[in-house]
Structure 1
């Protein structure tokens, strides 16, 4: 894994990230557009972490911290790079970020139907919390 580089996204990376998510991410979100990701990077320029190998994007994770809780979104690894430690490296970088910011607990947003992701999160030490249900309201029209 010595050839893997983890770094924060820059505004110039956003088109590549959006294209990457169409290939590597399971499902889409109302905020998966240029405006939404631009807003994220402008608000917290270290939240969107990229994994690169030989200059090619092979993984992403959003490690958001609101000052109280640590939230993980969009952990995605290119299909050709899966099972090579990319996701683990991204999560380790996200967790280091959280600890440096004073975070004490990370939670991940994972689709119920994404069994592959469930296995990856479990292997990373995360567990579902059945006592909580997630309620969602889109704030804009799609």
Structure 2
């Protein structure tokens, strides 16, 4: 495992959109109807701090969308470059997302996770999230 001090977490900017879309094609499981330039631009315009990027040595190695609507903390598009998996990238991204939520007053994180992505299930469980079958999503209670 590489030391985490070389990992930089930051909010995405408009100049990152094409890079993020290319990254998702390589690193994310599945696609979304909003995985296009306009969809990401709308996200950044509405909530400029929501799309968190992890970079190592200038390379985009991870992402998560940490959305806050004033009521609920929602996590989407947690993705890590295959060559960077099991090196703490998702853990660092989720910690940054949870810090963001706590600063905004959020109390529970809901994660959208594909049922078939068992590798992702292990990552979410390791981060303290648990499946909620009645809702088909995973949630974690955040400290106020």
Counterpart in the other structure of 1:22: 25
Counterpart in the other structure of 2:62: 59
Q: Distance in 1 between matches of 2:15 and 2:35?
A: 16
Gaps of 5+ in 1: 135-142
Q: Distance in 2 between matches of 1:114 and 1:89?
A: 20
SS of 2:87's partner is: coil
Task: Summarize the alignment of residues 26-105 of structure 1 with structure 2, pairs less than 5 Å apart.
Answer: 26-105=29-108
Counterpart in the other structure of 1:106: 109
Q: Does 1:10 align with 2:33?
A: no
Gaps of 5+ in 2: 138-144
Aligned Cα RMSD in Å? 0.8
Greater strand proportion: 2
**How many aligned positions are there?**
134
SS of 1:62's partner is: strand
Q: Distance in 1 between matches of 2:68 and 2:52?
A: 13
Cα displacement (A) at 1:70? 0.2
Q: Distance in 1 between matches of 2:57 and 2:123?
A: 24
Q: Distance in 2 between matches of 1:82 and 1:107?
A: 22
TM-score relative to the length of structure 1: 0.93
Residues 93-118 of structure 1, C-alpha deviation per residue, up to 9 Å, x if partnerless? Answer: 00000000000000100001000000
TM-score relative to the length of structure 2: 0.91
